[in-house]
Chains A and B, each alone.
Chain A
């Protein structure tokens, strides 16, 4: 198999797609013309053909689950690669032989690796991620404590980002090459290049020092909505502006691509209002690529924006991870990585489902 050409056989199932690239062969031999054969298929295939959207979602959930298992395996073995004996490190100056034995036994580290692995998977699946080396509290609890703050910040930041990016990206895309487009591109270039800690410090020095806005900490929404909002503004803007800069560029590109499509010319040739063409024809089609990148941005924000959280002394996941790394708290680190992976996969799943709802080509095979 040294010859790269031998991959030929593995590409065979994709061949129909290949031929679909040429305009003239866009249709398979049995295209929608054939009524009777379609009816037959429906009868034969039963449930899965009758509910394509449901089938699609079920398949995605299954895939997500498999990926999650893969992540658990990788995280478990990666941590094994870290040099040093975690128990010894955890004990630090309190080290005695008895304490060592006790902690090793309590954390299950005296068992063979393979047994450790299966017990880790078993407990991870029921939500038991072990206990923190530092304070002996369950990792799951520590993570869940921080989650509301992180979710609040992530949602507010992505809201800020979309609020800035959608109008800017759309206007720039529609006026490609014009003055507004140039200005937007320069601004988004700035946004991408500004370090977020600097942005945070600037906001603090202007709004916190100048106007007395809260610049640190977090108040739960359920306890004090106004306090929650005031604590949220500055970190949300800081985290949101960077995302906004990235999103603006993607939205601009998506709008340019779609507005050059022939079907947009068709829509214009119908004499539709500009706004109708923009929303129904350009907007919906441009949404598809934008959804992907928005999902990735949101997942990144949910994983904890470490720098922003440190600058604003914000008690989110990012700071927890930062502290866990500093203290070599491996169970906590492991758990945090798993949680972030879980968040990423969940959001990807949501994005996929949204795809299927927006795009009939996925929904209706």
Chain B
């Protein structure tokens, strides 16, 4: 706390005063909160407060203690050997150290919670009705039919189509965005005073994210709730928060109103977070744009995809049906250039990657790499092609074998293709690590000893090991914090300049895809709905869908939703 100047510590009150002549007393007030497990403090004495009708944004990267602080402050943190000291009051009532019975009467009733991943935060075995009714029946003492009526109203208000039918559904029958709406309904079921939203949009598509932000902002106005919104993305926070707390390594490094943080950031870390926000080129200040503009496509494409169609036969307990995942897609990738493919879940963008690497067989169409066929290969041809096309996956936690050292992971493709004698592999691994910005000391480490960004660097090094010509980056930065994402994107650009790889960059966030791509293909329901240079797509979008994607990018100047 010592590094925060006194005038900043008092900023929240000042900001509140500016907006509201008679500021309300904070409904949730946290002071000197320390949280730890075993002997180690993880959160080192933080203070924050949020008043009715206001949103406090807490921003920081994973491991900064932002979720832990908030969950501890609301009495939801439980771990063997865990401890919480300090004070956290809800309308004057102490939560830290409160008996379990008091906490149960607060949870769900006066504080509602929305968590990050909607696909795991609902019970898969219970209908939505049962999950929505539990809280109100327990806290408000109402009957099941009354609870059903309430749930119905709530789902209607939350914009879930056909709520009467949906009440009987199970979570797996909903899309990700719909699940998150239901989760919000669960949190709001008893009209709480405070809503805790812990990375509620991080696992969602950008268009869904924008819709959820608007939704919560609207609900907050109509109910006059306090909201605490936790995110690693300052751009998102800028759209929903009134005041912002920036956390790093268990401490608050900066706090202030949205305007203060965006226009007059004091701390270096805040500036880094601001710079790391994915922004469209059109949003960036003139001058910083655009090294790509003068790069024109010349000569033969490195990879040409023509009329690619992929069908899946989906077998369910009730029989088989065919789904066309990719339909008549034609795309070109040039040496030293990046093709960006953007679209939401299920748009078929990852299927294209799987076809190119021979994991999925196409129904029809052709793809050639400098004239050599890429599709429907087997045996030695497939093996050669797998050397020329390398892939980096979304989740670096899942993509590395936890029982292999970094060296073994990187050397595995070398062994598979019999590229180097054993003696030289270590040397090569060190070189590759150097290229991705890691020093040779990483060579004997295991994945659990690495951070998310370091793991993704190792994955990139592994992809580079076989000297590929084309790199497919399938949501390769999507699971990273924005600050780490920015670093990895820089690394990818450097590698491309140096080696002249062709990239296919697959993503759901237009701001990220557009930043790194020369040409962009927008995909929807298996079809390319728009295809052109990044510049064209951005300046003159031809379809409503592209315009939606552009609008979904959080603005450079914070605008309250």
Contacts and interface: CB of A to CB of B under 8 A. Distances in A.
Interface of A: 1-3, 5-6, 8-9, 11-13, 15-16, 18-19, 21-33, 35, 41, 45, 48-49, 52, 55-56, 59, 176-178, 261-263, 265-274, 276, 280-281, 284-285, 358-362, 364-365
A63 B117 CA distance: 37
A280 B358 contact: no
B122 A266 contact: yes
Contacts of A265: 76, 115, 121
Contacts of B126: 280
B5 to A, nearest CB: 36
A176 B81 CA distance: 12
B120 interface: yes
Interface stretch (B134-142, B143-151, B274-282): B134-142
Interface of B: 76, 80, 100, 103-109, 112-113, 115-117, 119-127, 134-135, 138-139, 161-162, 169-170, 172-176, 178, 183, 186-187, 189, 203-205, 312-319, 321, 323, 325, 345-348, 350-351, 354, 358-361, 378-380, 382-383, 386, 394-395, 398, 475, 478, 508, 525-526
A15 B312 CA distance: 8
Contact of A359 (B119, B124, B178): B124
B331 to A, nearest CB: 19
A169 to B, nearest CB: 18
Contact of B395 (A22, A41, A273): A22
Contacts of A361: 124, 170, 172
B176 A266 contact: no
Contact of B138 (A5, A262, A273, A365): A273
B76 A365 contact: no
A22 B344 CA distance: 13
A55 B382 CA distance: 40
Nearest to A8: B358
B473 to A, nearest CB: 14
B394 A271 contact: no
B358 A29 contact: no
B267 to A, nearest CB: 31
A304 B394 CA distance: 50
Given A11-B360, A361-B124, 4 more contacts: A24-B203, A271-B103, A271-B106, A276-B138
B105 A271 contact: yes
Contacts of B119: 23, 26
Given A23-B117, A45-B319, A365-B317, A268 B107 contact: yes
A6 B382 contact: yes
Contacts of A19: 350-351, 354
Contact of B123 (A2, A13, A273, A285): A285
Please give me the 5 A-B residue pairs with the lowest Cβ-Cβ distance, nearest first. Answer: A271-B107, A271-B108, A365-B316, A270-B108, A269-B113
7 contacts: A9-B378, A28-B314, A33-B178, A263-B123, A269-B76, A276-B134, A360-B172
Contacts of A21: 398
Contacts of A55: 317-319
A272 B108 CA distance: 8
A31 B175 contact: yes
Given A12-B312, A27-B345, A29-B323, A284 B125 contact: yes
Contacts of B345: 24-27
A178 B378 contact: no
A231 to B, nearest CB: 40
A29 B325 contact: yes
A281 B161 contact: no
A121 to B, nearest CB: 30
Contact of B346 (A23, A28, A176, A281): A28
A32 B173 contact: yes
A6 B378 contact: yes
A13 B350 contact: no
A28 B543 CA distance: 22
Contacts of A3: 378-380, 382-383
B410 to A, nearest CB: 20
Given A24-B478, A263-B122, A365 B346 contact: no
Nearest to B183: A266
Given A15-B312, A261-B120, A268-B107, A29 B525 contact: yes
Given A24-B508, A25-B345, A25-B346, A271 B124 contact: no
A25 B359 CA distance: 17
Contacts of A272: 104, 108, 134-135, 138
Contacts of A261: 120
A295 B477 CA distance: 44
A178 B80 contact: yes
B123 A270 contact: no
Contacts of A262: 115-117, 120-121
